Structure 1
């Protein structure tokens, strides 16, 4: 029989030795692996307030674009222009393509691509609307401009352009909203990349 004195002795770890760290297992998409654990488990789904903000901005963009197009089409004949200042002229132009007169002979393809793009943006906002505070504004402008031009293409087969700066194809407010929204998204992306990152927790 083995006495207590003969029991095997296991050396204790030195006091200054760090305890074994618990292995963290991350389950999710590849993008989750690029974020800290505390953020990977966070929900970025858009809130009701963010949806309301996006809808209000998109609706405002649609109304502003449609009203200005109606005013131009009602007061200027096709091709007629009203000089404002310098190279800027308000000119009534019909465009069957996308922004700035591109792809003018591919109306059906433009309608399909625009519809797919709008659906993708809405799906992205639904799951990621809380990732950045500017998303409701930026995507609201892009979606509003896209919807307004899409409605004209489906209803009329073309959109009305009227902002003519002589050295660039004429465009409308919807085109401007799309460009501004994309610009806000890019600026937010660049600024977020420049923000100092907190050191990883040990």
Structure 2
């Protein structure tokens, strides 16, 4: 096997793309239902802590940067490109990172399509005094929280348990990270195990 990592392009990552499509479809379908069933500024139910309120937003998530639709289209496109670069920067993207990116990519495309087609984003999830938002916003924020956990918390603990660079640093089968176990190393991705060099044959 070549020492060079054959990174999989993000568009060939079936699980990530499938998740992004699911998020996108749910977001667009929910907005379509709200636009069809509720008048502008109408709420269902009329009162309560949690309601569906039909409104739209010419700014970014949760109503900030109002009336900046064209710049936000550009920002959304750049944001999606950055997510692709983050994916490409990882030798073997973890399941948690793929979850984070799938949520963010799906949400970003959901709001981007609204901006291009309608000139604004449909919002409808009305919770207490919180700014009204939509499924795409919720997906993006959830993905960002997961990503923050990965890079700010999980990596700190993972670096302490990283496999030694001698012997088997990366799995010869799937390129996953090899971690130290009794008598050798085991791949954290596919589970293949390699014995210590020089161990009993």
Shorter-chain TM-score: which interval?
0.7 to 0.9
Assess if the C-alpha contact under 8 Å between 2:10 and 2:84 holds in 1: no
Conservation of the 8 A alpha-carbon contact between 2:5 and 2:91: no
CA RMSD of aligned residues (A): 2.4
Q: Give the equivalent residue in structure 2 for 1:33.
A: none
How far is the alpha carbon of 1:194 from its aligned partner? 1.9
The offset of 1:91, in angstroms, is: 0.2
The alpha-carbon deviation at position 139 of structure 1 amounts to 0.3
1:64-85 CA distance string (max 9 Å, x none): 0001001111000000001288
Task: Compare the two structures and name the one with the higher strand fraction.
Answer: 2
In structure 2, what is the equivalent of residue 172 of structure 1?
134
Q: TM-score, normalised by structure 1?
A: 0.72
Gaps of 5+ in 1: 1-40
TM-score normalised by structure 2 residue count: 0.72
Structure 2 vs 1, CA of residues 54 and 131 (structure 1 numbering), >3 Å: closer, same or farther? closer
Distance 1:48 1:145 in 2: 16
Q: Report if aligned partners of 2:10, 2:87 keep a CA contact under 8 Å in 1.
A: no
2:110 matched residue in structure 1: 148
**Gapped regions of structure 2 (runs ≥ 5):** 167-201
Matched, 1:108 2:96: no
SS of equivalent residue, structure 1 residue 94: strand
Alignment of 1:47-196 (within 5 A): 51-83=13-45, 86-128=48-90, 130-189=92-151, 190-195=153-158, 196=160
User: 1: distance between equivalents of 2:100 and 2:32?
Assistant: 25
What CA deviation, in whole Å up to 9, does each residue of 1:95-114 have, x standing for no partner? 11111011111111111011
In the alignment of these two chains, the number of paired residues is 162
| Structure number, greater radius of gyration | 1
SS at match of 1:78: coil
Which protein, 1 or 2, shows the higher relative CO under an 8 Å CA cutoff with sep ≥ 6? 1
Secondary structure (helix, strand or coil) at the match of 1:134 reads helix
Equivalent of 1:197 in 161, 173, 177: 161
